[in-house]
């Protein structure tokens, strides 16, 4: 059974090109091709395609919004964003809206085909740069709260460093290995921190730091 694909793309040339690519692929079938959000929202639910290739920049709205609304009606369909934008916010918004893939328009024909099949296999096709951004945002959990360090500037650099790790939720053992020191040392620093902040537990120290 061929994979049915719908396209939402306002650029006629590009839409034609993709249409042709789908048509040429023996295992794919074109279910629907829309030029704007209104058509997409009215026609795609009826077509119930396996995969929707979605442009972000549509004349009458955003592909992200369209994604969110389509996913409500068609939770079983996979939406792949296909766009020139690689702005982090766009990416996150699209993923939040329920997109399962994020391909940049500079991708090759092969990449596009491969991504569609990937989607059906349960994979999450993403351009490398996009995946990096997603992963990266994971790796920096909480970079905020820099300025008003309240009354805790009596801490030594090391203590401040460790307090920041505390505020990210790491247990002492993790802190020790992240900083390549022993748990006892972490312990000593904690004792100093509690002393200087006038608190008696890890939780209180974190509250003081975050508050």
Partner DNA sequence: GAAAAAATCCCTAAAATTGGGGATGCGGCC
Partner DNA sequence: GGCCGCATCCCCAATTTTAGGGATTTTTTC
Binding site for a copy of itself (CB under 8 A): 65, 68-69, 72, 92, 95-96, 98, 100, 118, 121-124, 126, 128-129, 131-132, 134-135, 138-139, 141-143, 166-169, 171, 174, 177-178, 180, 199, 201-204, 206-207, 210-211
**How open is the CA angle 127-131-135, to the nearest 5 degrees?**
175
**How many residues does the structure list for the chain?**
211
* List of residues contacting DNA (CB under 7 A): 156-159, 171-173, 179, 181-182, 184-185, 187-191, 194, 200-203
Residue 196's alpha-carbon distances to 42, 147, 158, in angstroms, are: 63, 19, 14
Smallest distance, a copy of itself to C-beta of residue 171, A? 6
- Residue 181 binds which one of a copy of itself, DNA, none, with CB within 5 to 8 A depending on kind? DNA
State which residue, 15 or 175, has the beta carbon closest to DNA. Answer: 175
DSSP string, 132-186: HHHHHHHH-------S--TTGGGS-HHHHHHHHHHTTT--HHHHHHHTT--HHHH
Shortest CB 154 distance to DNA, Å: 8
Between 47 and 181, CB nearer to DNA: 181
207 binds, among DNA, a copy of itself, none (CB under 5 to 8 A by kind): a copy of itself
CA distance 17 to 8: 13
């Amino acid at each position: 059974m061929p994979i049915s694909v719908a396209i939402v793309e306002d650029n006629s040339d590009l839409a034609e090109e993709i249409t042709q690519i789908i048509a040429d692929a023996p295992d794919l079938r074109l279910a629907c091709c829309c030029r704007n959000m209104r058509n997409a929202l009215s026609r795609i639910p009826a077509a119930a395609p396996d995969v929707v290739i979605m442009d972000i920049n549509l004349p009458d709205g955003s592909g992200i919004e369209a994604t969110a609304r389509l996913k409500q009606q068609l939770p079983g369909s996979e939406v792949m964003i296909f766009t020139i934008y690689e702005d982090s916010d766009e990416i996150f918004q699209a993923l939040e809206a329920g997109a399962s893939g994020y391909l940049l328009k500079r991708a090759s024909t092969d990449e596009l085909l491969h991504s569609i099949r990937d989607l059906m296999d349960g994979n999450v096709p993403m351009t490398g740069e996009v995946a990096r951004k997603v992963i990266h945002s994971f790796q920096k959990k909480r970079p905020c709260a820099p300025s008003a360090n309240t009354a805790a500037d009596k801490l030594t650099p090391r203590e401040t460093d460790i307090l920041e790790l505390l505020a990210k939720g790491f247990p002492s053992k993790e802190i020790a290995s992240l900083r390549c020191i022993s748990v006892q040392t972490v312990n000593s620093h904690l004792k100093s921190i509690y002393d200087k902040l006038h608190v008696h537990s890890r939780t209180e120290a974190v509250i003081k730091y975050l508050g």
